[in-house]
Amino acid sequence: MKRFLAFLLAGAMLISFCSCENGQTDPDSNGDDALQQVDPEFVEGLTDPNLTYSKDELTALEESGEHYVADYDVPSLCKYFEGRISVGASFTSNQITNLEDPIAKGLLKHYNMYTLGNELKPDCVNPSEGVYNFEYADDFVAFGKLNGATLRGHTLLWHSQVPQWWFKADPNDTRSLAECNEAGALATSEQLQERITTYITDVVTRYKDDIKVWDVCNEVLNADSIRRIADDSYWADIIGDLDGNGYYDDYVEIAFNAARAAGGDDLVLVINDFNMEWQDSKTQAMYDMVERMLRKGVRIDGVGFQSHISVDCNIDTYRRNLEKIAGLAEIYDECFPDYAGNFRIQITELDMNMFVGADADGSFKTWSDEEFEAQAVKYAELFDLFLEFADRGVLDSVVFWGTDDENSWLNSTPKLRRNAALIIDRDLSLKPSFYSIAMTSFD
State in angstroms the smallest separation of the CB of 407 from ligand GLA. 11
Measured from the CB atom, the residue of 70 and 271 that comes closer to ligand GLA is 271
Q: 3-class DSSP state for residue 374?
A: helix
Coil vs helix vs strand at 186: strand
Q: Where along the sequence are the contacts to ligand GLA (CB under 6 A)? A: 154, 218, 274, 306, 308, 349, 409
Known catalytic residue at 273: yes
3-state SS assignment for residue 273: strand
Shortest CB 11 distance to ligand GLA, Å: 17
Of 176, 419, 180, the residue nearest 309 (C-alpha):
419
Note whether 324 and 291 are within 8 A (CB). Answer: no
Considering beta carbons, is residue 47 or 419 the nearer one to ligand GLA?
Answer: 419
Contact 222, 213 (CB under 8 A): no
Give min distance, CB of 306 to ligand GLA, in A. 5
* Nearest residue to 95 (alpha-carbon basis) of 148, 31, 47: 31
C-beta separation of 135 from 196 below 8 A: no
Query: Which residue, 260 or 308, is less far from ligand GLA as judged by CB?
Result: 308
Which residue among the candidates 250, 253, 273, 301 is catalytic per the annotation? 273
Distance CA 312, CA 285 (A): 25
d(CA 34, CA 130): 28
At 153 the three-state DSSP class reads strand
Catalytic residue, from 219, 249, 277, 396: name it: 219
Q: Catalytic annotation on 179?
A: no
Catalytic pick from 119, 139, 349, 396? 349
Bridge partners, 116 (sequence order): 91
Closest listed residue to residue 443, CA positions, set 51, 58, 8: 58
Q: What is the CA radius of gyration of the chain?
A: 22
In the bound complex, what is the minimum distance in angstroms from residue 60's beta carbon to ligand GLA? Answer: 36
Chain position whose Cβ is nearest to ligand GLA:
409
Phi, psi angle pair for 215, to nearest 5°: -80, 95
Nearer to ligand GLA, 218 or 233 (CB): 218
Q: Is the CB of 301 or the CB of 349 nearer to ligand GLA?
A: 349
- The residue (of 110 and 159) whose beta carbon lies closer to ligand GLA is 159
CB of 293 to ligand GLA, least distance (A): 20
Question: What contacts 267, CB < 8 A, 6 or more positions away?
Answer: 204, 208, 212, 213, 214, 259, 260, 301
| Residue 129 bears catalytic tag | no
Q: How far is the CB of 39 from ligand GLA (least distance, A)?
A: 32
Rounded (5°) CA angle 25-27-30: 95
Active site (catalytic) residues: 219, 273, 349
